[in-house]
């Protein structure tokens, strides 16, 4: 399940011996939100009347996905031109280094974020929560609050590290249905929507 507290309380009453597991997607989502909020806070602190700071503002806005990427997926070897960098040949890691040089608080939050991702990938829940409990005092309070929220669901997150279960496929199907509804601008009946979903999933065949 996700981190909705009301769900957990209801499930525990209905199934007293249940072991609740927070889906791993929601753990990463919470961490992403924390760092993304820190990025936006850094952007707002820049002076947009200053010619140099407005450039950094635009770079932080454009390359937000680079900050959220796992370090092990960052490209350190391929050189190319990145928009907003004066047509210089840079690697993705060069772009990341520049973003982190803009603000020390953002860099500190980024390093914590990457450390948590590392322990997450290793499925090491002890090191994961030890990192959260030992956050440096200099860390931004809003970022700290968002990350420490995970402690509230410590047992359920621990289960997600220990057990292989995930509702990722269900989340994917749910998103697919939303996309089908959106691109179709709605359906007149539920039966028509259901048929369209089945056809898209190759559960029905259209005979010409």
Classify residue 102 as exposed, middle or buried by CB count within 10 Å of its CB (0-12, 13-18, 19+).
buried
Q: Which residue has the higher pLDDT, 182 or 207?
A: 182
For the chain, how are helix, strand and coil distributed in percent, rounded to 5?
Answer: 65, 0, 30
User: Is residue 16 a part of any domain in this protein?
Assistant: no
* 83 and 180 inside one domain: no
CA angle 107, 43, 31 (to 5 degrees): 50
Verify that 189 and 131 share a domain, yes or no.
Answer: no
57 and 43 inside one domain: yes
Residue 8 lies in a domain: no
pLDDT, tens digit (0-9, with 9 covering 90-100), for 82-136: 999 998 999 999 999 999 999 999 999 999 999 999 999 999 999 999 999 999 9
- Do residue 110 and residue 80 come from a single domain? yes
My answer on whether 56 and 146 are in the same domain is yes
- Asked whether residue 102 falls in the same domain as residue 195, the answer is no
Contact 90, 80 (CB under 8 A): yes
Count of domains for the chain: 2
Burial group, residue 34, by CB count within 10 angstroms (0-12, 13-18, 19+) = buried
Distance CA 63, CA 78 (A): 17
Query: Do 127 and 183 have their domain in common?
Result: no
pLDDT for position 167: 80
Among residues 127, 101, 106, 105, the alpha carbon closest in space to that of 115 is found at 127
On whether the pTM is more than 0.85, the answer is: no
């Amino acid at each position: 399940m996700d981190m909705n507290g009301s769900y957990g309380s209801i499930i525990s009453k209905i199934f007293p011996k249940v072991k609740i597991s927070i889906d791993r997607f929601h753990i990463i989502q919470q961490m992403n939100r924390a760092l993304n909020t820190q990025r936006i806070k850094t952007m707002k602190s820049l002076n947009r009347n200053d010619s140099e700071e407005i450039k950094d503002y635009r770079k932080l806005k454009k390359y937000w996905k680079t900050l959220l990427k796992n370090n092990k997926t960052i490209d350190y070897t391929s050189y190319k031109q990145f928009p907003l960098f004066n047509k210089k040949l840079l690697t993705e890691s060069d772009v990341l280094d520049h973003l982190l040089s803009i603000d020390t608080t953002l860099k500190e939050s980024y390093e914590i974020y990457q450390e948590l991702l590392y322990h997450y990938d290793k499925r090491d829940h002890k090191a994961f929560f030890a990192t959260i409990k030992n956050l440096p005092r200099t860390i931004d309070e809003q970022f700290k609050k968002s990350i420490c929220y995970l402690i509230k669901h410590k047992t359920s997150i621990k289960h997600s590290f220990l057990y292989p279960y995930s509702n990722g496929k269900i989340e994917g199907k749910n998103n697919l249905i939303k996309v089908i509804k959106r691109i179709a601008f709605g359906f007149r009946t539920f039966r028509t929507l259901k048929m369209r979903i089945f056809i898209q999933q190759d559960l029905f065949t259209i005979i010409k």
